Amino acid sequence: MATGGKITDNESIINEPTGLTMPDDNHTKIDRAIAQKSLYGMLDEPTFSGVLSFMRRNYTKDLSGVDLAISGIPLDLATSYRPGTRLGPQAIRVASAEVASLKPYPWGFNPFGKLAVIDYGDCYLDVHNPMTIHEAIADHARHIMASGARMLTFGGDHSITYPLLKAHAEKYGAPLALIHFDAHSDTWPDSSPGSLNHGTMFYKAIRDGLIDPKHSVQIGIRTWNDNFLGMHIVDATWMHRHGTDAVVGEIERLVGNRPAYLTFDIDCLDPAFAPGTGTPVCGGLSTAQALAILRGLTGFDLVGMDIVEVSPPYDHSQITALAAAHIACDLICLLAKRKADGLL
């Protein structure tokens, strides 16, 4: 990526027009998340008003022609310390209004020029019948993926990743590679088939053959576990010592061209950069470090993605929600570039 008006590598992605098919008058300049008819294009809309879908994408249940469906899973029944992540999806949407106001940096292109993205809304959960929740999430994912769309999901606590992995493994084949950003390995033993626990999902996913630990990597880990179940650990100390490029190299070495699911627990970031989360651990990644790693993942086949554990009651000045919104934007840019290169 060059600056100063020079040609950049990303200019192969054409910046398409906004794609609006309605008169551009004062009646249509607000609430384009529900008013615009095209799935493509970035929107010129005040950041301080309007319907707050993620990055002003169409709010719709129509999956026709959709490349990527964003949805929320507002759950915090599985948290082990501070609750509040049921409010995470909406907080990320609100924070994204600012992110949507310009072409993303450093990409320099309109990610919605070629990638059709919608905000599907939230998954319905019957929280008074918690044993129904995992299957409700898996069915939510199956319905979206049956259309051919990929998913970017906002949690909610991290327990949502297990049913999402189950549905993705059904769609793309098991076992998947896992790219996991977190302060915790989440591989603590759990023998209960129906438990809601945000620290045991990957124990279950490995046990059930949904992910391949030999080709999976956990980044930013800084809590001890007596048994990491064969997962490759790139802990926070190693990252700080060797740098973000070395982390990308480790991901490339382990995951290669395998179909991969990416899950980002916001507590991978140090509490200075993500105070609004349920189980904060000091010594983590900065937002800049996390974004640098993500921006290096252009060569990966990301079949599904989630961002979890944003807890707005513990946030300050939207610091955590803004971090999650920027992470989500970069994930969208990864898919947009992959589609422009004919790989999606």
pLDDT at 335: 98
Q: Is residue 160 one of the residues assigned to a domain?
A: yes
Rounded to 5 degrees, what angle do the CA atoms 114, 117, 118 make?
155
Helices (H), the chain: 32-35, 88-99, 133-145, 161-172, 201-207, 236-242, 244-255, 287-295, 319-340
Please give the C-alpha separations between residue 291 and each of 56, 137, 139, 242, 297, in angstroms, as whole numbers: 22, 28, 31, 16, 10
Q: Is residue 3 one of the residues assigned to a domain?
A: no
Q: Is residue 198 one of the residues assigned to a domain?
A: yes
pLDDT at 29: 73
CATH no. for residue 242?
Answer: 3.40.800.10
Q: Rounded CA gap, 329 and 336, in Å? A: 10
**pTM for this prediction:** 0.90
DSSP string, 20-58: --S--STTTSS-HHHH---S-S-----TTSS---GGG-E
Q: Rounded CA gap, 251 and 217, in Å? A: 7
Q: Is residue 1 one of the residues assigned to a domain?
A: no
Per-residue pLDDT tens digits of the chain, which is 344 residues long: 333 333 333 434 434 444 434 445 666 677 778 878 888 887 677 777 778 899 999 999 999 999 999 999 999 998 989 999 999 999 999 999 999 988 999 999 999 998 999 999 999 999 999 999 999 999 999 999 999 999 999 999 999 999 999 999 999 999 999 999 999 999 988 877 778 889 889 999 999 999 999 999 999 999 999 988 899 999 999 999 999 999 999 999 999 999 999 999 999 999 999 999 999 999 999 999 999 999 999 999 999 999 999 999 999 999 999 999 999 999 999 999 999 999 88
Number of domains in the chain: 1
Q: Is residue 292 one of the residues assigned to a domain?
A: yes
pLDDT at 91: 98
Domain of residue 333, residue span: 9-340
Rounded to 5 degrees, what angle do the CA atoms 17, 331, 64 make?
55
Torsion (CA) 300, 72, 324, 107 in degrees, nearest 10? 50
pLDDT at 176: 98
